Structure formats: C-alpha cells, structure tokens
Structure 1
Amino acid sequence: MKTLLTGGTVVSMDPSVGDLERGDVLIEDGVIAEVAERVEAPDAEVIDATDRIVMPGFVDNHRHTWQTAFRGIGADWTFPEWAVAMHGTVKPHYQPEDVYAGTLLGRLEALHSGVTTMLDWYHVAQTPEHEDAAVAALRDAPGRSIYCLGAGWGTPDPVDADIRRVRSGLSGDGLVTMALGLRGPAATGMDTVARELKLAAELDLRTSLHIEAGGTITELHQHGLLRDTTTFVHANGIGDEELRMLAGAGGWLSISPDVELKMGFGSPMTGRALAAGLRPTLSIDDVPSVGGDMFSTMRTAFAVQRGLDGGLRSRDLLEFATVDAAASCGLGDRTGSITPGKDADIVLLRADDLTVFPVTDPAATIVSAGHPGLVDTVLVAGRLVKRDGALVDVDLAALRTRLVASRDRIAAAAGIPLDGTWRPQPAAE
C-alpha cells in the first residue's frame, strides 16, 4: 500500500533530508520510502498537503493518562496538594474501568494534538486488572504507546512477578510496548533499584524515574547503576555535577515545564542540561494541572530559557519534542523524523489558519504560535488516525459519556466536590 503526501512544506527534523518549501513524502506499507521536492507515484493514494506543514509526530515521554477524568481540577494546586488529591484521595476509588476510560481518552487527546508516540507512566497501582485495563486502552487507541509500569509505586514491595506478567503480553515490536517505572532508592533502597534495573535489562525494558532533589544520581553513579536506558523525570533540584554524570552515562532527562513551574519544582532544566552535554526532552505530565499538548509545552520551555539567558533556538524545541524524545524511548531508528526507512509517524498542520498565516519560518511558527487547532491530519505507521481535523473511527460521544460517569462516580466515592471549591490539605510537616 502506498500513500503520497504531496505539495506540503516539509520540516523533516533530519539534517540529511533538510526542510523543503514544497515537498512530497511517499509512504509504502507504513514506512517512509522517499522524501523529495517531487515524487512520482501514480499508484499511490494521494493526500493533498497544500497549505500544510508536514512534520514528524511529537513524542511525549512522560504522561499519566489515568488522571484524564479530572482535567483542570488541579490548576491551582501545589505539588503536595496534587499528591494528596490524586494519590491519597481519588486513586483508591479507581476501578479498572476508570483506568481504561481515562487512559483511552488521554491517549486519544494526545493523538488529536499531534502526539504520535507517548509513554504512559502508570502509577495507579492497585490490581493486575487495573494494569490490564490500561494496556487494553492503549491498544484500543491507534497510537504508538509505551506502557511504563510503575508497579507497586509508593511501596517497597517486590514487583518482579508483576513486571514479568505484563511483559509476557507486550512482547515484540508492535505499536504498544513496555517500560519499567522505577521507584527510586528513597522509596525502596538501592538493592531494590539494582534488582529492578537487572530485571529491566533481562526483559529488554527501558526505565524511567521521577526525581526532584539532588543526591539520587550521585548515589546511582557510585553504585554503578546509571544507564543509558534510563530517563530521569523533572530533576529540578540536581546540581551541575550530577547532570554531567548523567550525560557521561548517556542517560536522558524529561522536562515538564508547565507542571514544574506551577507546582514549585523550580525552573525547567533545559539550559543547564544542554550546558552539561545532555539533550533534554519534553513531556506533559498530568492534565489535572496543565494542558495536554506539546505546543504549549514547547512554548513554556522556550520562553523560560530565553528569559534566563537568551539561549535556545526554536528548532531546538522541535528537536527536544521529536528526535530527542524518540531516542530517549529507544525508538530513534523508528520515529522522530521524516527519514526514509523510518515509520511514517507524521502530522500535517494547517499553514493557512489565520493564527499562523503567513508562515514564513515553519519551525519558528510551530514553536511560537502552534496550537492543537492546527493539527489537520495524523498518521501513525502510515495509518490515518486523524483526517480533516477529526479522529478517524472514534465514537467520541460515547467515550465522553463514559469518562464523565467515571469522574462523577469517583468524586462521589471520595466525597469531593467538582465545583472548583476543593482544596486538598497536605499533612503538616
């Protein structure tokens, strides 16, 4: 099967391909076959990309979709308030069907805004049925997804059997794969971290770990446990020497600028990471607190760093959200750029929309003025999952009804109001 995207402005994110003011992209059996100013393919299905920017899909390497039903409720919360609300108050009332609804709608939202690859950091650990519901939702959403299982999150309990069970159903190289969410030495002790890293290596799983304060990377380094397959999330409190340790190990850093600034983590680590030799990546984190699109995430990271030191170019932000994030997920050879031989994970943005017209510098326009309303068409591995501004073969009305019912049931069980008056109360230190 062949598909030809024709006449668009191509922002390939591949230096060897470059950008094309007017270009064609030929897709064969889900793989990018050719990128050129003109491609002759008379037997291909043609998608007219005139007045469209053709770019690789975004890669979000850290999002907690199980929280989707409570979108916006935490816009004014600090991090301690969020932790009490989501983990202490509502999470205990989640049933598997609630996990499924939130995960499915959250993944569809990401696709709708051009996120073709997403790592779903699951830490609503309850039962195997909850885990299976999350995996089922990711499979039912037509995106490239990584189920990052934070089994036993918040407890020191062994998770080996649980990880192996889920991994046995997510083998191979399909669109839904798996990673392991580490709990870290502060929660479990260094021996457990070492065991989990050994398990991840045995099962060929990449790992992800949330950290805030300094010391963790130093401790891991001293124990020989820094890996080039681990992505550290946030890390606002770590020092420059730890950043250099992470860079030396070939590790990765995921920055969630909107959450980090709003919840009091500190300034995003973008500039400091680059100075230490790291390629930072970008992620959304959670939608109870912030928006779920990569456009606003890039813009926040860009504005903050430019305000601090005048550094970064708009294209840097696009790299963080595409090629660099894909590499952090171990998918650099499959996605993240419009490169012949890679899977066709491609987004078409409206260049004739009045909010961006006229598009003089496509990359700068995407970062400075892009928004989800521009996302006209989305392909994942060559499959059309959004066309002419609408998701394909998705019954959104039924899914909306299901998610609202889930939210209302959980809120009633937890005894919390949904009128904007609820302010969680963290325990006094």
Structure 2
Amino acid sequence: MSKLLLKGGCVLTLGQRTPNHTRADVLVENGRIAEVAPSVRARDAEVVDATDTIVMPGFVDAHRVLAHTLFRGAGHLGAPPAAGHYEADDLYAATLLGLLSSAEAGSTTVVDWVEPRDRACLEAVLRAHEDAGLRSVVVVARAAGVSFEDWKRLLTLPAPANVVIAAGSDEPGRVPDADIQQQWAAARSSGVRIHARAGTSTETAGAVARLAGQLGPDVTLVHCTRLSPEDLDAIKAAGVSVVLAPSQEMADGVGMPPVQDLMDRQLKPGLGVGGERRAPGAALAQIGAGISSNHPRHSPL
C-alpha cells in the first residue's frame, strides 16, 4: 500500500459536507484521500511538508485541444495545420507537453479533443495520456478524410486505465441533422459519451433545439456562445452538460460566453482552456475570464 502524507497545509476541501482547515494534514492511500484532520499520523508514509501552501482538489480542464500545444501563442499566424498534417510523433509530443503544462497549472483531469487520421495517431495520443498519468477523457472526433466506419472503429480502441474515450461529433447546424443523429447513435452503440461544439455562429442557432429528442445526460456541448433561448431550454430539459472556453471564445471572435443565460436556467457550465494559440493555458485564467465577461453584459451602469 502506498501512502502519502501532506502535512501542515491550508486545506480547501471544496466540499459541501467537508470543512476547510487553516492548517491540517491530508493522508492519501493508494491514490485516494483517506483522512483529513488537524493532525494525522501514518506509519510508512512519504511525508511532504505543505507549510505555507494551499492543498486543494485539482482543476478539471473540460475542453482542450492538446494537439495545438506546439502552436502556443501563435494565433496571430493563422489557423494551425489540419489534422492530416500531424504524424503520430507530433501528436505524442504535443499531447504530452500540454498535459504536463496542465498539471503544472493545477489541472489533474483533462478532456482532450483530438482528430486522429488513423489508429497509429490515436494510439500515440493515448500513450501520451498514459505517460502523463493524469485522469483524462479523450474525445475522438472525425478528421477530414476519415470514413464513418473507420471513425466508429477508433471509438472502440482499448484505452489506458487512466483514460476514458468519448465521441466527438460534428457541430449541430453545420451538417444535416440526420448526420448528427447517425454519429450520436454510433457513439451510443459503442457505449461512449458524446461531445460536440455547438452554437459557434448565428447560422447554427436553433439546431440544438431541433435535436431535442436526441439530447440526453450523455451529451456535452462546448462553447454555446450563440445558442437560441430554445436551444438553451432544450439543453436544460434534457440534462445536457455545457462547457465554456471563455478566453478562446473571446479571442477567436466566437462570442461572449453565455454565463448568465446558463445561470438563469440553473445550468452550471464546466470550463476549459480550448486551445493555447491565443488563450492562456491555466484553469484559473478561464475562471477569471468567465466572471469578467459576464459583468459588462449584465451589470447595471
């Protein structure tokens, strides 16, 4: 049994039934928190002095394109290369670098949107996630030139113990509704969750509401900046999850994050970095961007 004892830190549990502590110890056994108390004794534990530090749960980066890590800060140069230009080694390096920088910035769970052109590329991505050791969701989207049947086979590829595979579909409204229904049915037949970008332009407004019968708790929609009220109502009714990437959305001109519209419907969005070409890679930056973007839209003058 592995034991890790974090001693003397300011412990923020962030739980509704677990108190915070100005100074306390945290005992971790086999990767799980076993005890939090002002003083913990544990034999044969590795001890880390956490004095003058904050001990808290890691952030969840709920949407990130780790393949773009190699183009960090290069948004002014235009769009990054399409998926077809990435070799397996490129994807491994970009994914591993992005995961390690995520961990350094406090994220211990990452949802990675990837568009692999073949099995070798996806295996390279999965190997990077395994080597990094973070908890991950790898969202397998269909790259240009990949057939529908080949994409379905990628969804069934074995994943490391720390990785869950999900399906990335086309954006509702960008393709015929029948195509979205086919993609979501394939994901469900494979037993994986569904992720899709949604509402990134006014032309796609209303598309989510048209798919109301296909929505469910296994669907996560990302961005959602230009959804109609009917779209948002359909999301609420079906228990769909929503993820915002505030810094990227504003930098890329996708639109203002609809924080208040979601809050008005008791929808609590997840937050993600998106990509680092124009946006900062830290989860705390997304929290700040989400809050600050909401003020000018809804605060009285």
With structure 1 as the length reference, what TM-score do the two structures score? 0.64
Structure 1: 5+ residue stretches without partners: 312-429
Tell me which amino acid in the other structure corresponds to 1:127.
D
Looking at structure 1, the residues matched to 206 and 190 of structure 2 have their Cα atoms a distance apart, in angstroms, of: 28
Task: Identify the residue that residue 166 of structure 2 maps to in structure 1.
Answer: 179
Aligned to 1:14: 15
State percent identity of aligned pairs. 31
> Match of 2:268?
279
Q: Name the SS of the counterpart of 1:272 in structure 2.
A: helix
Instruction: Name whichever of 193-202 and 22-31 sits farther off.
Output: 193-202
Q: How many residues align?
A: 295
Picking from 181, 186, 192, the partner of 1:194 is 181
Q: CA offset at residue 44 of structure 1?
A: 2.3
Aligned-pair CA distance for 1:293: 0.9
Using a 3 Å threshold, how does the CA distance of structure 1 residues 151 and 92 change in structure 2: closer, same or farther?
closer
> 2:107 aligns to what?
115
Contact 1:71 1:289 in 2 (8 A): yes
Q: How far 1:250 moved relative to its partner? A: 0.8
Matched position secondary structure for 2:277: coil
Alpha carbons 2:172, 2:208 under 8 Å: kept: no
Out of 181, 191, 195, the residue aligned to residue 208 of structure 1 is 195
Q: Distance in 1 between matches of 2:139 and 2:101?
A: 18
Q: Give the equivalent residue in structure 2 for 1:98.
A: 90
Amino acid at match of 1:262: A
3-state SS in 2 of match to 1:261:
helix
Residue 136 (1) aligns with residue 141 (2): no
Structure 2 contact 217–241 (Cα < 8 Å) conserved: yes
User: Among 109, 126, 137, which residue is 1:146 paired with?
Assistant: 137
CA contact (8 A) 1:160 1:199 kept: no
Change (3 A) 1:307 1:40: farther
Amino acid aligned to 1:294: A
Amino acid at match of 1:146: V
Instruction: Indicate the residue corresponding to 2:230 in structure 1.
Output: 241
For residue 41 of structure 1, report the CA deviation from its aligned partner: 2.1
1:222-249 deviation line (CA, Å, top 9, x unaligned): xx10111111111111123321210111
Deviation at 1:160, TM superposition (A): 4.0
Q: TM-score, normalised by structure 2?
A: 0.90
Change (3 A) 1:36 1:202: farther
1:343-392, Cα deviation, whole Å (9 max, x unpaired): xxxxxxxxxxxxxxxxxxxxxxxxxxxxxxxxxxxxxxxxxxxxxxxxxx
Q: Is the 8 A contact 2:206 2:230 kept in 1?
A: no
Q: Secondary structure at the match of 1:106?
A: helix
Give matches, 1:275-314, under 5 Å.
275-310=264-299
Matching residue's letter, 1:47: V
Q: Is 1:59 the counterpart of 2:60 in the alignment?
A: yes
> Displacement, 1:161?
4.0
Aligned partners of 2:186 and 2:36: how far apart in 1? Answer: 40
Q: Distance in 1 between matches of 2:231 and 2:10?
A: 41
Q: Which has the higher contact order (CA 8 A, sep 6+)?
A: 1
Letter in 2 for 1:285: G
- With over 3 angstroms needed to count, the CA separation of the structure-2 counterparts of 1:306 and 1:18, relative to structure 1, is farther
CA contact (8 A) 1:151 1:163 kept: no
Letter in 1 for 2:57: P
Deviation at 1:136, TM superposition (A): 1.7
SS at match of 2:196: strand
Summarize the Cα distance change of 1:66–1:140 in structure 2 as closer, same or farther, 3 Å threshold: same
| Mapped contact 1:23–1:36 kept (Cα < 8 A) | yes
User: Which consecutive residues of structure 2, in runs of 5 or more, have no partner in the other structure?
Assistant: none
Structure 2 CA distance for aligned equivalents of residues 17 and 304 of structure 1: 31
